[in-house]
């Protein structure tokens, strides 16, 4: 058998082994982080020249060395796309809009004491850069996932960065998707230099308030390097998935869901969690059967062999507990009462319930967002959403009576902390002195 994931009996693993099995690397290794940080510093000091230099070194630039894709190339791109692809893009966009529109935050107002009003008001960001992986791959779906929530949020200036392919061209499907979405600014640049250019700005690239979107290790490392200069969505590493199945599941369909995220890259992490060892063997057998017919079979095989886990649980409850510890980006559940099992696993970013819910549906068509936390960060982050494209502010309004009610508390705590000017600011209002 060519696919050889690590196999473990969950009842026999030690706490240390369990921690090792559930710990993954969402943050790039130190060497990549150092290299990306150097690229970011180059772009910050040299601007376009550094973007072009690193683009020539790592790929992603236009054939003529330019950075901005001509507007007419974006606008004409739909002429070169088949009608069925255009229809699929429009359908996907419509579904993402439908799912994300209710997410727009609404303000709230509370009165903790008479004469005291505290509001929370949400406002969209002014500008956002959406990073879309590209080059040898093609991700118009990621463009949709980044742009549509930003538009619903009300972001005024949305730009896209995506690397050109080996021929020095941005794929026409990506350009057509941007055209349908009404995006007129696309920069042909990739990796750390793209994130840095969006964060710092150059003569060609406008500086943005926030950079969002999935990417490889250098993109992730660059996001960490620019955090503080501008906002970023979340650090996310290679794609990953966990699949829980009982013996009533269809082994062929479980195998399909195992392979779905594995084909993203050889570094993808996959966990198959089952309640019966023979069923795990059946799933692996179905994978072996299917691999020769799949275009990325070598990638799938490498991912499962290098980063695959087959975990044998004594019960669905134990399987769910392990999945929650693993905190997957994608989680497919093939069990009796799958919806109930889903509720047992809060630490999963995107959950696919039952036989008829493939992960591919979420990647392309349900309208759920596929920009997701990886590496266990689903414990503390969620999917990209409309609220990621804005910020909250607090607005506080007191009248005299309200300040009088709060004055004893304010003065007591201010003096306890040694801040006499804080206390003075109360007295000067109420008493005319301190």
User: Class of the 6-26+237-367 domain?
Assistant: alpha beta
| H/E run at residue 123 | strand 116-124
Burial label for 345, CB within 10 Å (0-12, 13-18, 19+), is buried
Q: Are 62 and 208 in contact (CB under 8 A)?
A: no
Domains 6-26+237-367 and 30-115+123-235 share a fold: yes
Question: How confident is the prediction along the chain (434 residues), in pLDDT tens digits per residue?
Answer: 577 789 999 999 999 999 999 988 777 789 999 999 999 999 999 999 999 999 999 888 898 889 999 999 999 999 999 999 999 999 999 999 999 999 999 999 999 999 999 999 999 999 999 999 987 778 999 999 999 999 999 999 999 999 999 889 999 999 999 999 999 999 999 999 999 999 999 999 999 999 999 998 899 999 999 999 999 998 777 899 999 999 999 999 999 999 999 999 899 999 999 999 999 999 999 999 999 999 999 999 999 999 999 999 999 999 999 999 999 999 999 999 999 999 999 999 999 999 999 999 999 999 999 999 999 999 999 999 999 999 999 999 999 999 999 999 999 999 999 999 999 999 999 987 54
Mapped onto helix, strand or coil, the DSSP state of residue 161 is strand
Looking at 240, 286, 301, 329, which residue is catalytic? 329
Compute how many other C-beta atoms are within 10 angstroms of the C-beta atom of residue 22. Answer: 18
Looking at 100, 264, 330, 334, which residue is catalytic? 330
Tokens of 76: 């004409």
329 labelled catalytic: yes
pTM: 0.93
Could you give the CA distance from residue 199 to residue 202 in angstroms, rounded to a whole number?
A: 9
E strands, 302-400, are 308-312, 330-334, 350-353, 390-398
Assign domain 30-115+123-235 to its CATH superfamily.
Nitrogenase molybdenum iron protein domain (3.40.50.1980)
Domain ranges of the chain: 6-26+237-367, 30-115+123-235, 399-430
**What DSSP character marks residue 207?**
P
Could you give the CA distance from residue 265 to residue 142 in angstroms, rounded to a whole number?
A: 16
330 labelled catalytic: yes
Among 134, 142, 6, which residue's Cα sits nearest to residue 59? 134
């Amino acid at each position: 058998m060519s696919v050889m994931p690590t196999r473990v009996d969950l009842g026999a693993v030690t706490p240390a082994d369990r921690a090792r099995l559930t710990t993954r690397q969402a943050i790039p290794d130190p060497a990549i982080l150092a290299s990306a940080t150097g690229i970011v510093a180059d772009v910050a000091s040299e601007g376009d020249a550094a973007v072009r230099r690193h683009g020539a070194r790592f790929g992603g630039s236009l054939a003529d060395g330019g950075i901005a894709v001509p507007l007419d190339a974006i606008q004409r791109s739909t002429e070169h796309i088949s009608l069925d692809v255009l229809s699929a893009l429009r359908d996907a966009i419509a579904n993402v809009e439908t799912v994300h529109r209710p997410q727009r935050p609404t303000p709230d107002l509370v009165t903790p004491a008479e004469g005291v009003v505290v509001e929370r008001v949400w406002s969209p960001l002014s500008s956002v850069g959406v990073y879309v992986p590209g080059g040898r791959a093609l991700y118009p779906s990621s463009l949709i996932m980044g742009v549509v929530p930003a538009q619903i949020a009300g972001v005024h200036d949305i730009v896209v960065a995506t690397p050109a392919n080996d021929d020095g061209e941005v794929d026409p499907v990506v350009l057509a998707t941007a055209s349908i979405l009404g995006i007129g600014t696309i920069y042909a640049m990739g990796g750390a230099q793209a994130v840095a250019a969006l964060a710092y700005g150059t003569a060609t690239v406008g500086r943005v308030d926030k950079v969002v979107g999935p990417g490889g290790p250098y993109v992730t490392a660059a996001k960490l390097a620019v955090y503080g200069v501008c906002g970023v969505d979340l650090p996310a590493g290679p794609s990953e998935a966990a699949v829980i199945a009982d013996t009533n599941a269809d082994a062929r369909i479980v195998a399909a869901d195992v392979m779905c995220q594995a084909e993203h890259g050889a570094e993808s992490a996959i966990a198959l969690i089952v309640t019966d060892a023979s069923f795990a063997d059946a799933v692996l057998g179905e994978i072996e059967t299917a691999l020769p017919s799949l275009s990325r079979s070598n990638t799938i095989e490498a991912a499962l062999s290098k980063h695959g886990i087959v975990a044998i649980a004594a019960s669905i409850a134990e399987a769910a507990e392990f999945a929650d510890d693993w905190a997957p980006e994608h989680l497919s559940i093939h069990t009796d009462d799958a919806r109930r099992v889903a509720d047992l696993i809060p630490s999963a970013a995107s959950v696919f319930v039952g036989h008829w819910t493939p992960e591919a549906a979420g990647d392309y068509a349900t309208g759920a967002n596929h920009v997701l936390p990886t590496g266990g960060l689903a414990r503390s982050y969620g999917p990209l959403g409309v609220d990621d494209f804005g910020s909250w502010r607090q607005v506080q309004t007191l009248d005299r009576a309200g300040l009088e009610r709060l004055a004893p508390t304010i003065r007591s705590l201010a003096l306890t902390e040694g801040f006499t000017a804080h206390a003075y600011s109360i007295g000067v209002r109420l008493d005319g002195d301190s």
